[in-house]
Every structure is written in C-alpha cells, then in structure tokens.
Amino acid sequence: MSNGLLEGKKGIIFGALNEQSIAWKVAEQAHAQGAKFTLTNAPIAMRMGELNKLAEDTGSEIIPADATNLEDLQNLFEKSMEVLGGKIDFVLHSIGMSVNVRKGKHYTDENYDWTLKGLDVSALSFHKVLQTAYKMDAINDWGSVVALSYIAAQRVFPDYNDMADNKSYLESIARSFGYHYGVKANVRVNTISQSPTMTTAGSGVKGFNEFINYSEKMSPLGNASALDCANYCVTLFSDLTKYVTMQNLYHDGGFSNTGVSQEVIEKFAE
C-alpha cells in the first residue's frame, strides 16, 4: 500500500544482499512510497550480482562502498548527490558482521583482530557514515538516519557473542551523533532494535532456529518480519516522525517488555 509518504525524498540504502535482507525490503517499501535512492554494499558482496535485480525493480543506481573505508564513503555521498540531484534525506545502515561468530570462536576466547574487524564493520562504520555526511553537509535539514540493532545490546544472549558489544556501541553512536547532527541541521539519528529475522546475517548465529522459535513464543505479537521492519523504517524516514531522535526503538512484537509468556511457562509444565 502506498501513501506517497516518501515522495520527493532521496536516500542511500546500505546492506541489501539478497531478497531476505532487511535492507532489500526497505528498498522495495521506500520505492513504493515514492522515494528515490542509491543502493550500496561492500564490493565483495556485489560479486554475487543479486543486487542488480533490486536496482532494476526500483530504478536505482548501485554505488559500491566498503562502509569501513572513508574514501569509499565520500565517493558514495558525492555520487549519490549527483545521481539523485541534491542532498540526501534518509540513510539506512543495515550492516553487521562478526568474524568471531562466523568462525565459531567463543566469547571467552576471542581473537581480538577479528573482534576489531567486526566492531569496525558493525558499529564504527555507522560513525564513519555519519561523520562523512556531517563534514560534507550531505544531509538535508530534518533528514533521518537509521541503523539496525538487536536487544543483545541490553540483555545477554550468549551465542550472539561479540555482536552484542558491537550493537551497544552502535546504539551509543546513535545517541551521541544524534545530538551533534540535531544541533547542526535537525538531522535525526535512531536505531531500530529488530526481532530475530531469517536472513544471511541472522542465520549465521549458532542455534538461531531454536532462538527464533523461542522469541516468537515470548512476543505477544510474535516476531516482527523484515517487511514490517521496512515499513517502520519508512515511517522514520518520513516527515511524520520529525521529533524522534537519539532513540533505540524496539520493533519486536513486545519481546523486550515481556518477562515470560504463558506459552513459555506451559513448556515447563510438560
């Protein structure tokens, strides 16, 4: 359903890898709501070629950028403003990766080179995106920047490993940079804390299938889908949420405020 909520808005969408990606759904929904945007991902992810289909479907240009590389980011903002014909109104940061998780390295036995790599990709890249845009004055007044987080930033989920620390850092950047960008140009910066979702990044976490089922039973509304997350992103990019900034916003069907659900209790009565 389109309400033209993003009519006339220009954006940059990071992190669409395949049709399961949350960023992929955001691109589709933003397009349906009238936005124009560029799509970007790490050059290595581009080799799979799936992004071309999304670019065709949404009439978008693809501009490769490693989100940890400042030159790539500057080039991305420059080219995006050129292609879209002006400053940017919204940015989606939908990027996450932990080498320790990927290689099955336990949290109590981290390889710190890998830890630093994951921190750079998953959290510091958000600061780099914001700082690049800030210095280039690339985002319009009342623009909106959103990154995706997970509740492991607040509570322990053992197998989420060092990604929990990365998400805490990410959420802190949204607060701190949100202050400075708000003062400078009324740009708002938020994170959305999303339910577990079956994507490439998500399913890399050990025991993910069991966990997603648990979360489904612990959430009064059930797990929020990638599509619903995309719709929430659209509202945050729109002018209807202009005074929401520096927040971590739970989009999780009520999971974060549920101590225990009847369904989970009943499992223990068996």
| Residues at the contact surface with ligand NAD, assessed by CB under 6 A | 14-15, 17, 21-23, 41-42, 45, 66-68, 94-97, 121, 148-150, 194, 196-197, 199-202
**Buried b vs exposed e over 38-56: b needs ≥16 C-beta within 10 Å?**
bbbbbeebbeeebbeebee
Minimum CB–partner distance for residue 2 and ligand NAD (Å): 23
Minimum CB–partner distance for residue 131 and ligand NAD (Å): 15
Residues designated catalytic: 150, 160
Q: What phi and psi, each to the nearest 5 degrees, are found at residue 68?
A: -95, 0
The count of other CB atoms within 10 Å of the CB of residue 20 is 16
Nearest to 248 by CA among 102, 162, 150: 150
Q: How far apart are CA 73 and CA 87, in angstroms?
A: 15
Minimum CB–partner distance for residue 51 and ligand NAD (Å): 9
In terms of CB distance, is 178 or 202 closer to ligand NAD? Answer: 202
In terms of CB distance, is 22 or 32 closer to ligand NAD? Answer: 22
**Alpha helix (H) residue ranges in 103-162:** 112-119, 125-136
Please tell me what DSSP assigns to residue 228: H
Residue with tokens 């607060």: 175
Q: How far apart are CA 218 and CA 114, in angstroms?
A: 32
Nearest to 118 by CA among 166, 183, 175, 161: 166
In terms of CB distance, is 195 or 245 closer to ligand NAD? Answer: 195
The answer to whether the CB of 41 falls within 8 A of the CB of 69 is: no
Minimum CB–partner distance for residue 167 and ligand NAD (Å): 7
Q: How far apart are CA 137 and CA 159, in angstroms?
A: 39
In terms of CB distance, is 89 or 120 closer to ligand NAD? Answer: 120
Q: How far apart are CA 109 and CA 143, in angstroms?
A: 41
In terms of CB distance, is 168 or 186 closer to ligand NAD? Answer: 168
